[in-house]
Structure 1
Amino acid sequence: MRETLAESLKPTRQRVLLTIILFIGVFVAYMDRGNVSVLVADPAFLNDIGIAGNPVKIGLIMTSYLVAFGLSSIIIPPFVSFLGPRKVMVLGIFVWAISLVVGATAFTFTSILVSRVLLGIGEGVSYPQSAVYIKNWIPPQERGRANTGWVVGQSISLAVTTPVIALFIALSGWRESYWALVVLAFVPMYLFWAHTSDKPRDHKKVNRQELEYIEAGLSVEVTSGNEPRLGYKERFFVFAKEPRYWLIVMWFMLMNFNSFGIQTWLPSYLKVIRGFSWGQMGFLASLPFVFLMFFKIGTGWITDKVSRNSVVRVLSVFSLLAAACIYGAVITQNNYVSAVLIALSYALCGMGNAVIFVLVQDIVPAKVVGSAVGFLTGSSLLFASLSPVIMGYAIKLGSYGAGLFVLAGASMMAAVITFILTLPRFQKCPENLGFGSV
């Protein structure tokens, strides 16, 4: 009886379960997103849909996804936010499951584009809901680790995707890889529907102690539960008046431009330009995501230990290092060194993903965080959608190096923007928490 009473007085850990479910959702989403990077290195896939020898169309496969993701992230979340993150998340997963069915049955370039557009819409709707969940469930002092907990799923997923999809292609074919992903999509759909709620107060398994702990942490933020529902324009202007938000958006645009250029073309670059075999390519193409996983974990831990301003300074330095790595990868004659340098550049670009959501959650009121994150991810991916097709044109003209140098330039510009964020004028924050005070 005493043990039972003692256990009842301990806070439950449902917020930890939530971050695990978010991790699983992102893991599956990024497998769906990343499979095309492996498929475009498969001659059978390219021949079946009629784009063999056409790098521009290959680039458009990823670009179409990014455009759809970007537009849906900006436009749709404000109109479905009244449903709550749980229902919106499940709806988005259902749409991306349909997209995978379309991909599995595709025979033309157009049908693959339709599949990628549907995937972009489904993931664009659901992705911002992760930030809403974190804002509703996680106290500010735990958000660095919580955001890392689900964002690191991106890196692990992409690291796993390359060898797994390559194995499916080798054993069965590219269509079978699509069908496997269709089945996998139902796992996060079930978990979000059956084991999460929009807010901790609505969850049956959250006890009083955990609820009090969460709400005490959330109480430091200026929120009001009695404010009228805002329309799209009103939501936009709530976060649009914050200059730091726009600097964060520009930084995220540039780093995603770099990341998606590498993510789309790295397998082909390693196989065609650097001459690696399928087996070697599968291993080396997963290195960026392995590196990124560890970088994100470290960044999330540091974010909760030091000031936000210090973290932003680190991101500025790492953006410069990302540019240097790309330059070194192009000029080196050693194929393995080139592969490792590109992997490091990708990891240095992506390590700020967990931090960027913490920064937005710090400066944006809870009532518009979903719209703010949706606009952030949407606009950044719309800009990043140019990267795969620019790389495609560069390849068509006969040079991977020119495309990679464009990515290096984007990283250098990102370093300048993050440096601006550390200037004293951006540390003054009359509302919310502010970068310098956390």
Structure 2
Amino acid sequence: MTNETKIPNTRWWRILPATVLVYIVANIDRANISFAMAGGMMEDLGLDAVAIGMAIGIFFWGYLLLQVPGGHLAERKSAKHFIAAMIVIWGGCATICGFISTSFEFNVVRFILGIAEGGIFPAILVIISHWFPPAERARANSIFLLSFPLSAIISGPISGWLIATWGWREMFIIEGVASIALIFLWMPLIADRPSKAKWLSAEERNWIESELAAEAAAKKAAAATNKSATKTSYRELVFDINLWKMVAVYFLICCAFYVLSFWLPTIIKDILKADIGMVGWLSALPNIAAALGIVFFGRMADKSQNRRKYCIIPYVCVGLCIIASVFTASYSGWLSFAFLCLCGFFWLSGHPVLWTIVAETFQPEVAGGARGAINALGNLSGFFAPMLLGYMIQNYSRDAGMYIFAVLVFLAAVIVWSMPKNAETKAAVEKTREHVAATTNAHA
């Protein structure tokens, strides 16, 4: 049986909800500083725009440290147990944020929080690559990456309400304790591979493993035309131009994403003159749009198998929407906010497609490390981008800073356009799948 629609879909209802839930909470604990900023933390701790940019950005230097090791351990050892340990550590750090009294203490705790969260993203991508073959991987990545907008949708009203009811310190403490409780859901739900899942039917397990075997064979068959497919050591991987293109793309698009994410409540408060409770609700709207965009572009990328196209379109649209939002802010706050919501539809839509390109480009021996390297170096934008915007605000204007980030997103689209097409790999996968099907039928 080779038609995936006839295969049981337990993996979709067991693996993906657990990964989404974990990363929703991780994102809340990473980004709730944006609501603390708008809710009085800056005044209480005496932080200016540059200092808060440092507090936001220091997280990402810690985040850098476990990216490649985390991806490597997840691929070679156990992603499940690695993530379980990190859940406990990051939850503890998130809780401690509610007890800090100086900017130095906050920077230290945020740095450790970054270390704890660092390896989780590539580890989850490894789990997905072990459970979802190429024909459905962009959709699986899309569902996982719904954790970004869903966390913002949930975080906005909850964080705004917690701050309005008690204060920013209590927000950190309550949301941190909730993170630690995740361990009791993660451990029973997840298995590293189909072969280790006792709850999986033999039919579904055999189909997944045969599809993944076809993918591995296809990569070897495409080695003559796809040089990246021959990279089986990290030393070779370092000199692969496609790796560095992906790093550059992810860095540039994350610059815009983190600026919009961390400054969104403040921007909404300024252009609409809204109170913190209303800001929490309004900040959910761009992220609802983001959830719709992720699903739409993930489906289109799987349907057409044209990965580059469905990275480039959302990246270009993000840049255009940023420009439109800034330009219209002086005329109508609500029109400017409408463009922010439209920007939300596109700002994460290229991510699942880009990560699918990564899985299809590199051999399994180095794919985990490649994911870690791209995510680590790309997420350094979370350090530089908020500080750059803080500098632009203090010395020029926020509008000038936003225009810079629009240009960076356009540059990301150009780099994606320069990347190789996936036509050769797609053809090899189809050919290998047909061979597997013919062999199976012959032995039936």
User: Does 2:23 correspond to 1:26?
Assistant: yes
Question: What is the SS of the residue equivalent to 1:221?
Answer: helix
* Partners of 1:207 and 1:122 in 2: CA distance: 34
Q: How does 1:86-235 map to 2 (within 5 A)?
A: 86-222=80-216, 235=233
| Structure 1 residues 242 and 328, CA gap change in structure 2 (3 angstroms) | same
Give 2:308's match in structure 1, choosing from 312, 317, 320: 312
Deviation at 1:373?
Answer: 0.9
* Partners of 1:395 and 1:157 in 2: CA distance: 27
Deviation at 1:239?
Answer: 3.8
* Partners of 1:325 and 1:15 in 2: CA distance: 33
Give 1:301's match in structure 2, choosing from 296, 299, 319: 299
* Partners of 2:160 and 2:56 in 1: CA distance: 18
* Partners of 2:428 and 2:337 in 1: CA distance: 43
Counterpart for residue 268 of structure 2: 270
User: Does 2:397 correspond to 1:399?
Assistant: yes
* Partners of 2:267 and 2:206 in 1: CA distance: 53
Counterpart for residue 442 of structure 2: none
Of residues 131-140 and 413-422 in structure 1, the stretch that sits farther from structure 2 once superposed is: 413-422
User: Does 2:52 correspond to 1:58?
Assistant: yes
Counterpart for residue 410 of structure 1: 408
Where do 5+ consecutive residues of structure 1 fail to align? 1-8, 224-232
Contact 1:144-1:358 at 8 Å conserved across structures: yes
Q: In the TM superposition, what whole-angstrom CA distance separates every residue of 1:224-265 from its partner, at most 9, and x where no partner exists? A: xxxxxxxxx974235445433332221111100111111111
Counterpart for residue 229 of structure 1: none
Deviation at 1:79?
Answer: 5.8
Counterpart for residue 228 of structure 1: none
User: Does 2:348 correspond to 1:350?
Assistant: yes
Q: How does 1:70-89 map to 2 (within 5 A)?
A: 70-78=64-72, 82-89=76-83
Q: In the TM superposition, what whole-angstrom CA distance separates every residue of 1:159-199 from its partner, at most 9, and x where no partner exists? A: 21111101001111112212222232134322322221211
User: Does 2:324 correspond to 1:328?
Assistant: yes
Alignment TM-score, normalising by the size of structure 2: 0.86
Contact 2:161-2:277 at 8 Å conserved across structures: no
* Partners of 2:291 and 2:215 in 1: CA distance: 30
Of residues 157-166 and 61-70 in structure 1, the stretch that sits farther from structure 2 once superposed is: 61-70
Q: In the TM superposition, what whole-angstrom CA distance separates every residue of 1:104-130 from its partner, at most 9, and x where no partner exists? A: 211111121122112211111211111
Deviation at 1:274?
Answer: 4.8
* Partners of 2:31 and 2:108 in 1: CA distance: 16
* Partners of 2:249 and 2:101 in 1: CA distance: 38
Contact 2:71-2:371 at 8 Å conserved across structures: no
Counterpart for residue 37 of structure 1: 34
Deviation at 1:329?
Answer: 1.5
Counterpart for residue 43 of structure 2: 47
Contact 1:70-1:380 at 8 Å conserved across structures: no
Counterpart for residue 227 of structure 1: none
| Structure 1 residues 10 and 362, CA gap change in structure 2 (3 angstroms) | closer
Number of residues of Structure 1 aligned to a counterpart in Structure 2 = 412
Deviation at 1:432?
Answer: 7.4
Where do 5+ consecutive residues of structure 2 fail to align? 1-5, 218-230, 434-444
Deviation at 1:365?
Answer: 1.7
* Partners of 1:235 and 1:158 in 2: CA distance: 38
Give 2:379's match in structure 1, choosing from 364, 381, 390: 381
Question: What is the SS of the residue equivalent to 2:385?
Answer: helix
* RMSD, aligned α-carbons: 2.6
Of residues 74-83 and 400-409 in structure 1, the stretch that sits farther from structure 2 once superposed is: 74-83
| Structure 1 residues 242 and 277, CA gap change in structure 2 (3 angstroms) | same
Counterpart of 1:245, as a letter, is: L
Contact 2:156-2:280 at 8 Å conserved across structures: yes
Of residues 164-173 and 188-197 in structure 1, the stretch that sits farther from structure 2 once superposed is: 188-197
Counterpart of 2:26, as a letter, is: A
Contact 2:67-2:373 at 8 Å conserved across structures: yes
Alignment TM-score, normalising by the size of structure 1: 0.87
Deviation at 1:433?
Answer: 5.4
* Partners of 1:304 and 1:170 in 2: CA distance: 43
| Structure 1 residues 348 and 371, CA gap change in structure 2 (3 angstroms) | same
Counterpart for residue 4 of structure 1: none
Contact 2:84-2:187 at 8 Å conserved across structures: yes
